[in-house]
């Protein structure tokens, strides 16, 4: 595991050096432009000039590769910069000795392609992060672009009108196109930044700054070109190089691993862009009453003011729609549900024959683990995909809303108990297929609570409260969907109380770890122990895992609990190793804990701190994890094995029937479930199955451990079948570490 980590750090260091080298190159190029005198210089204008174009392009391509070509915004921006650099190379090699080239030329095609491709990158960003707000963004951006163009026309108009004739129309049009397109891009970015549906990180400053440098250079270029006085090698050429370098800084952070430091997002006031644009347009019109202005400037200013008036007419409707819409998924939000539900419920109540309605409350299982392990960006992608599947699986008379987080509500008109349950099962089926997020296959399910109108609630608040109780009942019983019953009220109160107590338990060291020895059936020696968590409840006494682990999973506390158990178990293992007990310690791991890609490195660090080898630890996982996502299981187990950590499959035989994973996945040990071992003495078929399973494990090079060994007869029979290890009450029940020390010492004395 250390080699890939070093490789990643090396790549990040190389990236940073490339950025510094890029700005150093721009600085040298700028100094060269200032010092080389009149006319072009081959080294400065060709060698350094082209390097300042292609090094930023390389940074863009590195970001594209890092994201696996899966980010359209990055890909379009990369193509934009690449076309710009290629056009510049063509321009340089078509120059004459005076540093001038034909204008316009094929190079201008590449230069101009920069703008629609960069605009496509911005559109891709809007499509990926915003739902239902694109028209307001486009409108604000268009107003900003028209206002910018009006100012530009007022400033450049007098100069250009004196230089233009029919033979120069094309050249003048191309020259003016550059600054107009630059300002259009800047206005588009400002419009996006002002949208309430999108937050802009600090790195966007670099993109806007780069485009502003481009715009300033293009304005000067337009003035010089139409007057025939532009040639390569002017100091202004450095502005394009610096603009590209700033844009490269913008793209550099995309696709890189996140650091622990989170930068705050910045927002532009919602009316900033149209307000500035209208002020610019009005300024041009006012000045036009005193000084003759170009017709284009007056027309553009008039269009700016006119277009800006459209939001004033529709702003209330637009804001009302936005207030009722969830920004991430585009679904109705909680406010919309509360606004629309009374009408539907009233229609049902006053109908000629009273009709039932049903409220379904959905909560994604273990969604917090996706956010914690894969990042909030991936969690947001999951929510968007989930909302799409739920929408497609619902009947037309259903209203789907996102209440917040990973919680969704469905209001069904004309639906009784049977219809509501059928819809709930359909929604569960729609979520069965794994979701593909950032190249990872993610499996999620939903727990669904159902409340019926009018018998289980007379308004939306009552229905939500009872559906919430039913949903937690569904989570606790793993049934997927549950219809509210009156007895669920007490369950909901008890659950909330237990959850509060559980959070206190994690912070107040109320968890205990008990240990059950594992004995070699060949030598009789104790080779390891399994660490089993208990909760020393201050009022209810010692609670077993089945009394609280489900609640730990539901509430997203499994990461914290796993960390506590690992810490206690490794501390105890270090004590045993110091006292001469060379025991392997096994810890059960939930599928949610194994999602954490940093888990192997964290465990290695914990073991190293205690002077333990990684092989002193064994992680026990279930068949459900192995079979639900085979590719992720292979990746996780491979990293664990490479780190030296042993892997065992717990409760073997109780999961899926397919055994192909035994051949494909890196596993050390199988633990045969007690349900096969207990009936072995009285059931010949059960005994034959146990013997065959032991032979299967050995043929694959795996160790076999039998759990639930409670009698001497079962112990002897397993030894006769060739089973490697046994674990059960016949040897010892799970006991605290101090009692296990006494048990081990007594066993040593007995063996003498």
Cα separation, 110 vs 102, in Å, equals 15
| Structure-token match 């002193």, residue found | 616
Residue 195 has pLDDT above 60, yes or no: no
Cβ atoms of 678 and 710 closer than 8 Å: yes
Higher pLDDT, 606 or 436: 606
Cα separation, 367 vs 555, in Å, equals 10
Residue 703: the pLDDT is: 93
Cα separation, 308 vs 684, in Å, equals 85
Residue 514: the pLDDT is: 96
CA distances from 683 to 62, 695, 722 (A): 64, 19, 19
Phi, psi of 516 (to 5 degrees): -115, 125
Bridge partner list, 359? 411, 451
SS3 call for 400 = strand
Cα separation, 628 vs 17, in Å, equals 42
Residue 489: the pLDDT is: 62
User: Any long-range contacts for 35-38 (C-beta under 8 Å, 24+ apart)?
Assistant: 36/233
Phi, psi of 396 (to 5 degrees): -65, -30
Cβ atoms of 75 and 64 closer than 8 Å: yes
User: Taking phi first (over 0 means left), then psi (-120 to 50 degrees means alpha), and beta for anything else, what does residue 104 get?
Assistant: beta
Higher pLDDT, 270 or 148: 148
Over the Cα atoms of the chain, what is R_g? 34
Cα separation, 640 vs 651, in Å, equals 20
The DSSP element (H or E) to which 91 belongs, if any, is helix 72-93
CA distances from 507 to 502, 548, 565 (A): 9, 16, 13
Write down the pTM of the prediction.
0.47
pLDDT in tens, 81-91: 999 999 989 98
pLDDT in tens, 416-436: 888 889 999 999 889 888 888
Phi, psi of 721 (to 5 degrees): -75, -10
- Where are the extended beta strands (E) located within 268-378? 357-364
Higher pLDDT, 187 or 585: 585
Share of the chain above pLDDT 70, in %: 72
Cα separation, 226 vs 243, in Å, equals 23
Residue 226 has pLDDT above 70, yes or no: no
pLDDT in tens, 354-376: 567 888 999 888 787 777 667 77
End-to-end CA distance of the chain: 43
Of the pLDDT bands very low, low, confident and very high (cuts 50, 70, 90), residue 507 is: confident
Instruction: Give the CA count within 13 Å in the CB-facing half-sphere of 693.
Output: 26
Bridge partner list, 412? 358, 398
pLDDT in tens, 92-138: 888 877 667 777 788 888 888 988 898 888 777 666 555 444 555 56
Q: Which residues have a Cβ under 8 Å from the Cβ of 739 and sit 6 or more positions away?
A: none
Cβ atoms of 677 and 694 closer than 8 Å: no
Q: Smallest Cα–Cα separation from 645: which of 596, 585, 701, 697?
A: 585
Poorest-pLDDT segment among 14-28, 188-202, 315-329, 517-531: 188-202
Residue 162 has pLDDT above 80, yes or no: no
User: Any long-range contacts for 455-463 (C-beta under 8 Å, 24+ apart)?
Assistant: 455/356, 456/484, 457/359, 459/342, 459/345, 460/337, 460/338, 460/341, 460/342, 460/345, 460/359, 463/359
Q: Smallest Cα–Cα separation from 426: which of 401, 393, 387, 388?
A: 393
Beta pairing class for 407-413 and 357-364: antiparallel
Residue 353: the pLDDT is: 45
User: Taking phi first (over 0 means left), then psi (-120 to 50 degrees means alpha), and beta for anything else, what does residue 181 get?
Assistant: alpha
Higher pLDDT, 190 or 505: 505
Cα separation, 393 vs 372, in Å, equals 28
For helices 237-252 and 49-66, what crossing angle results, to 10°? 20
């Amino acid at each position: 595991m250390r080699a890939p980590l070093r490789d990643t750090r090396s790549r990040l260091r190389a990236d940073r050096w490339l950025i510094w080298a890029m700005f150093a190159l721009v600085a040298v190029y700028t100094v060269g432009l200032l010092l080389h005198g009149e006319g072009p210089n081959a080294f400065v204008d060709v060698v350094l000039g082209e390097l300042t174009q292609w090094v930023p392009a390389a940074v863009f391509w590195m970001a594209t590769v890092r994201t696996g070509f899966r980010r359209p915004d990055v890909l379009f921006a990369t193509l934009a910069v690449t076309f710009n650099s290629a056009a510049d190379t063509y321009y340089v090699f078509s120059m004459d000795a005076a540093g001038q080239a034909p204008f316009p030329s094929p190079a201008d095609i590449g230069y101009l392609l920069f703008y629609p491709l960069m605009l496509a990158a911005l559109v891709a960003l809007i499509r990926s992060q915003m739902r239902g707000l694109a028209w307001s963004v486009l409108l604000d951006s268009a107003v900003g672009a028209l206002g910018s163009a009006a100012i530009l026309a007022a400033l450049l108009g007098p100069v250009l009108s004196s230089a233009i004739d029919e033979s120069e129309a094309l050249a003048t049009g191309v020259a003016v196109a550059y600054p107009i397109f630059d300002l259009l891009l800047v206005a588009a970015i400002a419009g996006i930044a002002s949208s309430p549906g999108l937050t802009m990180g600090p790195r966007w400053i670099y993109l806007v700054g780069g485009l502003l440098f481009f715009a300033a250079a293009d304005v000067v270029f337009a003035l010089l070109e139409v007057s025939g006085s532009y040639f390569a090698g002017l100091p202004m050429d450095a502005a394009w190089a610096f603009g590209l370098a700033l844009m490269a800084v913008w793209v550099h952070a995309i696709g890189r691993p996140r650091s622990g430091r989170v930068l705050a997002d910045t927002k532009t006031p919602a009316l900033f862009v149209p307000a500035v644009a209208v002020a610019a347009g009005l300024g041009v019109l006012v000045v036009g009453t005193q000084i003759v202005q170009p017709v284009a400037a007056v027309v553009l200013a008039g269009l700016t003011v006119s277009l800006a008036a459209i939001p004033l007419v529709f702003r209330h409707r637009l804001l009302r729609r936005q207030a009722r819409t969830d920004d991430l998924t585009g679904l109705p939000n909680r406010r919309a549900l509360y606004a629309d539900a009374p009408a539907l419920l009233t229609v049902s109540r006053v109908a000629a024959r009273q009709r039932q309605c049903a409220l379904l409350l959905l909560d994604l299982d273990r969604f917090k683990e996706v956010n914690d392990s894969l990042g909030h960006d991936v969690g947001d992608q999951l929510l968007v995909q989930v909302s799409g599947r739920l929408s497609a699986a619902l009947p037309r008379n259903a209203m789907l809303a996102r209440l917040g987080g990973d919680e969704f509500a469905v209001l069904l008109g004309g639906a009784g108990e049977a219809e509501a349950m059928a819809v709930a099962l359909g929604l569960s089926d729609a979520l069965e297929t794994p979701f593909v997020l950032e190249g990872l296959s993610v499996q999620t399910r939903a727990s669904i609570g159902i409340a019926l109108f009018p018998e289980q609630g007379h308004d939306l608040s009552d229905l939500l409260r009872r559906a919430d109780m039913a949903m937690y009942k569904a989570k606790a019983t793993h049934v997927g969907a549950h219809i509210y019953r009156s007895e669920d009220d007490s369950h909901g109160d008890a659950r909330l109380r237990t959850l509060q107590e559980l959070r206190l338990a994690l912070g107040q060291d109320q968890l205990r770890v008990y240990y059950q020895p594992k004995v070699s059936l060949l030598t009789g020696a104790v080779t390891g122990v399994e660490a089993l968590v208990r909760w020393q409840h201050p009022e209810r006494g010692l609670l077993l895992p089945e009394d609280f682990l489900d609640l730990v999973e539901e509430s997203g506390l499994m990461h914290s609990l796993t960390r506590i158990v690992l810490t206690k178990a490794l501390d105890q293992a270090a004590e045993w190793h110091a006292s001469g007990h060379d025991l392997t310690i096994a810890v059960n791991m939930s599928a949610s804990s194994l999602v954490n890609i940093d888990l192997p490195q964290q465990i290695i660090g914990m073991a190293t701190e205690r002077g333990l080898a990684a092989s002193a630890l064994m992680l026990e996982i279930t068949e459900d994890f192995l079979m639900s996502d085979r590719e992720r299981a292979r990746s996780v187990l491979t990293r664990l094995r490479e780190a030296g950590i042993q892997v065992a499959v717990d409760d073997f035989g109780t999961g899926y029937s397919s055994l192909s994973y035994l051949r494909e996945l890196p596993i050390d040990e199988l633990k045969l479930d007690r349900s096969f071992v207990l009936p072995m003495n009285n059931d010949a078929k059960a005994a034959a199955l146990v013997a065959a399973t032991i032979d299967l494990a050995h043929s694959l090079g795996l160790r076999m451990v039998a759990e639930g060994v409670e009698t001497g007869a079962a112990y002897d029979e397993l030894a006769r079948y060739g089973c490697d290890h046994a674990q059960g009450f016949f040897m010892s029940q799970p006991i605290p570490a101090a009692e296990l020390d006494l048990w081990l010492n007594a066993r040593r004395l007995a063996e003498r």
